[in-house]
């Protein structure tokens, strides 16, 4: 595929923004700044499509799509386009787990086998709290290679939790639980299993009824590659020359809790609104999720229970980023300002976090 000239790309971006934008409740000057930042970012990084949402004063103030959801069929990206969430599935799963804790149905500090007997006991007990904070010693993927049978899985599993566990459940721990931070999407499969045991429901059913529905996330669904899902984006990569190609095939049915949901910018904006309004969990439960854990090795850790935290903007921000075949995602909330941004890109390696940070700086001015 030939490279698209920067001027043409910017024109396409601005045209698709007009076609895909929701009604705006932000000032025209600020909207112009946000649009210009997005256009520059897309042109500089050859982004096929991106959808964004902006939360101000605890409400979705603006959501829009830019570029293409599907290059081959000239489908513009909109606020409703569905992208692979990748690892920003984890805060959704964590919120479901903390709701069960809030209801007294899940003890965060009990051995996880109380709720997930399918996960074998290890030399040291592992708790749901440790799993949520990536300090349980569960390994991540074996490698980052697309040829790895985990990170590049192409098999479809009708029983996602059990199938996911089978990838790693008998492997040795990489560290003693509670001692070190080791990021692990696999660990979130165990959390999904614990949610099923504590709730008595399938993971996806519980999350749908107790997180997605209260948040108003009507279009968020599991990334089922066989299902016909309206508004789903096509997924892209870049080859060694920098040309856009279709992304490698991925079936994420084995890792739904940690990286297997599809959502849109407007839905994820509603998730931010729901968290700011304490509509899913209470304020104290929310604050617990947003408090970093303290591994016993004493190293700095900015990760809470399913949520990353930071103060690079001079004020507390919380959120997550994600990346997998054909997607790059990021969302941020600044609780003190009741503000948030969502950035969803249909290109792996798209650096969504960089754009999210740039947009948040504009919002916080």
Q: What is the pLDDT of residue 7?
A: 36
Q: How far apart are CA 195 and CA 106, in angstroms?
A: 8
Q: How distant, in Å, are the alpha carbons of 7, 110, 296, 346 from that of 4?
A: 9, 55, 51, 17
Confidence of residue 3 (pLDDT cuts 50, 70, 90): very low
Q: How many residues does the chain have?
A: 365
Q: What is the pLDDT of residue 143?
A: 66
Number of alpha carbons in the 13 Å side-chain half-sphere of residue 267: 26
Give pLDDT tens digits for 43-95. 999 999 999 999 999 999 999 999 999 999 999 999 999 999 999 999 999 99
Q: Is residue 216 left, alpha or beta, with left meaning phi > 0 and alpha meaning psi from -120 to 50?
A: left
Min mean pLDDT across 71-75, 152-156, 228-232 is at 152-156
pLDDT of 108 above 70: yes
- Alpha helix ranges (H) inside the chain: 6-20, 28-45, 90-102, 128-132, 160-166, 185-199, 203-207, 213-215, 256-259, 265-276, 283-289, 352-363
Min mean pLDDT across 1-15, 120-134, 168-182 is at 1-15
Mean pLDDT of the chain: 93
CB atoms within 10 A of CB 209: 13
Hey, what are 112's tokens?
């996880």
> Considering only CA atoms, which of 14, 63, 19 is closest in space to residue 43?
14
Give pLDDT tens digits for 279-326. 999 999 999 999 999 999 999 899 999 999 999 999 999 999 999 999
Q: What is the pLDDT of residue 8?
A: 40
Global confidence as pTM: 0.92
115-122: average pLDDT:
98
Q: How far apart are CA 305 and CA 37, in angstroms?
A: 31
Give pLDDT tens digits for 184-224. 999 999 999 999 999 999 999 999 999 999 999 999 999 99
Give pLDDT tens digits for 323-353. 999 999 999 999 999 999 999 999 999 999 9
Vertex 235: Cα angle to 229 and 237 (nearest 5):
175
> Considering only CA atoms, which of 97, 117, 92, 95 is closest in space to residue 109?
97
Q: How far apart are CA 115 and CA 340, in angstroms?
A: 34
pLDDT of 136 above 50: yes
Contact 134, 187 (CB under 8 A): yes
């Amino acid at each position: 595929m030939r490279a698209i000239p920067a001027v043409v790309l910017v024109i396409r971006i601005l045209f698709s923004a007009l076609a895909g934008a929701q009604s705006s409740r932000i000032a025209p000057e600020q909207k112009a700044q946000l649009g210009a930042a997005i256009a520059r970012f897309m042109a500089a990084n050859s982004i096929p499509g991106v959808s964004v949402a902006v939360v101000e004063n605890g409400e979705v103030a603006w959501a829009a799509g830019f570029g293409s959801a599907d290059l081959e069929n000239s489908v513009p990206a909109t606020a409703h386009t569905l992208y692979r969430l990748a690892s920003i599935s984890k805060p959704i799963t964590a919120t479901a787990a903390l709701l069960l804790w809030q209801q007294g149905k899940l003890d965060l500090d009990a051995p996880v086998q109380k709720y997930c007997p399918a996960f074998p006991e290890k030399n040291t007990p592992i708790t749901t709290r440790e799993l949520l904070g990536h300090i349980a010693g569960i390994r991540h993927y074996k490698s980052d290679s697309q040829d790895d049978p985990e990170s590049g899985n192409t098999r479809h599993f009708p029983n996602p939790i059990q199938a996911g566990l089978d990838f790693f459940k008998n492997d040795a721990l990489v560290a003693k639980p509670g001692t070190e931070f080791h990021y692990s999407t696999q660990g979130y499969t165990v959390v999904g299993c614990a949610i099923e045991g504590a709730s008595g429901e399938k993971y996806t059913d519980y999350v749908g009824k107790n997180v997605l529905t209260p948040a108003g996330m009507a279009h968020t669904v599991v990334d089922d590659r066989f299902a016909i899902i309206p508004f789903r984006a096509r997924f892209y990569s870049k080859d060694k020359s920098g040309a856009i190609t279709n992304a490698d095939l991925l079936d994420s049915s084995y890792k739904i809790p940690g990286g297997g949901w599809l959502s849109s910018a407007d839905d994820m904006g509603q998730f931010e609104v729901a968290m700011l309004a304490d509509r899913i969990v209470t304020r104290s439960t929310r604050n617990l999720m947003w408090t970093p854990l303290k591994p016993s090795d004493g190293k700095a850790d900015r990760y809470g229970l399913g949520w990353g935290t930071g103060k690079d903007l001079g004020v507390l921000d919380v959120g997550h980023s994600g990346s997998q075949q054909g997607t790059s995602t990021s969302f941020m909330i600044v609780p003190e300002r009741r503000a948030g941004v969502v950035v969803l890109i249909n290109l792996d390696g798209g650096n969504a976090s960089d754009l999210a940070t740039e947009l948040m700086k504009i919002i916080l001015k």
